[in-house]
Amino acid sequence: AAHLDFVFRPDANYLPLPVLEQSFGFSSLDATLLMASIARETSRIGLVTTISTTFGHPYLVARQLMSLHWLSHGRAGWNIVTALQGHENFGLPAMPPSDARYTRAIEFAEVVRALWSSFPSEALLVDRMSGRYADTAQILPIKHHGAEFAVEGPMNLPRFPGPRIPLMQAGGSAKGVDFAGQVADLVFGMTPDIASAKAMRDQLSARARAHGRAPRDIRLLPGLSLYLGETRKEARALFLETHRRVDRMQRVERVLSVIGLDLSEWPDDRRILPSDLPQPSTSNWGRTHRERLRRIVETEQPTVAELLARPEILSSVHWQVIGTVDDAFAEISSWFEAGAIDGFIAVPGGARSSLDLTLKALVPRLAEAGLFRREYRETSFLGHLQDENVLTPETGPDRFTSVNCIDVRAAKRSISSGTEDDSLNC
């Protein structure tokens, strides 16, 4: 009803018991099967499942995803993850290093895409008169013999006769961003502030060009954690209530794991000075979060109590808005106008009311401002991502280089009604 581009399910293949004490910790239905059931209940929304390239096999994954694409009439999407944990469930002695995981992911995606093309739908004849089921001359093996996989093909399922399956990727290392530049239509970003989003946007554009693609072929969609209320006070109360059970010890551990500073013996009213910060780790994982916390200390010099009450410690490492629909609207507009994002992945938290405000008030507000579609114009997931092309040559689409998920792009309405707002150009 809100005309979102897609609904998305992260996923993992291990059970972290400490996390399970307080939250579901990925102890959930298989994401692809879940999407297949949602496909039956919906007609337009894209359905993005998560499948790891570290633990799966490309033949099985290619067939699963193409099955979802058929079942949803062209609405499947694949969030390609190299995963962070779970090796013990797949007979591996340890998690392979990040670079090795990406090497495998690149080959994995190549095999999956080749398999998708190996059995074109036109090869299906299903002709009773002649008795021919398929024109097998059109169905070709892929003969893949790589470092990681040997797959002969073809796939035992024809390609869906419509737009292809869009690919999503998340990962902040140089290899991760390069992989996105090579294959991703969408990037799920962990960018808590405009500066980090702009830097990520620039890196993605550079890597897209390096792989012979246009920067606008990749949409950067940061996660946006939303605690919305009718008033700021209500939103703040919802946020605090949601995280009430995160005790001091857990917060102190969070600070320790992110910036390496042990506050366990520090009194709450002691100020944290830049000189208290340990040397920053050079590891890529958590870099954005680390830099953000260090910046808070450098610019604000908070007390221990103040730092431990920050949203960055209490909850998500994503971009966060704790406030009213107006606050969220202003924040999203400013990020868009700064050219930092192409949309966002909304993560409404705390209560059903926060979800309702997101879908029933914030999204319509974005649509009113010409930053989001008012209705679906396409039926496939890729169609939603590309429906900027309905803009006329005189008005765009080139002017709207930033396109999006919950989709800041659909400015067609404001253009055609003559209310174009130049501030939307980026």
Ligand X SMILES: Cc1cc2nc3c(=O)[nH]c(=O)nc-3n(C[C@H](O)[C@H](O)[C@H](O)COP(=O)(O)O)c2cc1C
The one among 11, 107, 342, 387 contacting ligand X by CB under 6 A: 11
Please give the residues from 222 up to 251 whose contact with ligand X meets the rule CB under 6 A: 223
Amino acid residing at 168: M
**CA nearest to 21, candidates 225, 237, 245:** 245
173 assigned to a ligand binding site = yes
102 assigned to a ligand binding site = yes
Regarding 171 and contact with ligand X (CB under 6 A), the answer is: yes
Please give the residues from 68 up to 87 whose contact with ligand X meets the rule CB under 6 A: 81-84
Q: Which two tokens stand for residue 416?
A: 């055609």
Amino acid residing at 317: V
Regarding 197 and contact with ligand X (CB under 6 A), the answer is: no
Residue, CB closest to ligand X: 176
Amino acid residing at 396: G
Closest distance between ligand X and the C-beta of residue 135, in Å? 39
14 assigned to a ligand binding site = no
Regarding 192 and contact with ligand X (CB under 6 A), the answer is: no
Nearer to ligand X, 98 or 324 (CB): 98
Residue 217 DSSP label: G
The one among 49, 52, 203, 225 contacting ligand X by CB under 6 A: 52
Size of the site for ligand X (CB under 6 A): 20
Regarding 182 and contact with ligand X (CB under 6 A), the answer is: no
Nearer to ligand X, 28 or 392 (CB): 28
Closest distance between ligand X and the C-beta of residue 98, in Å? 5
Q: Which residues are annotated as a binding site for FMN?
A: 50, 102, 173
Q: Contact positions toward ligand X, by CB under 6 A?
A: 10-12, 50, 52, 81-84, 98, 170-173, 176, 188, 190, 223, 284-285
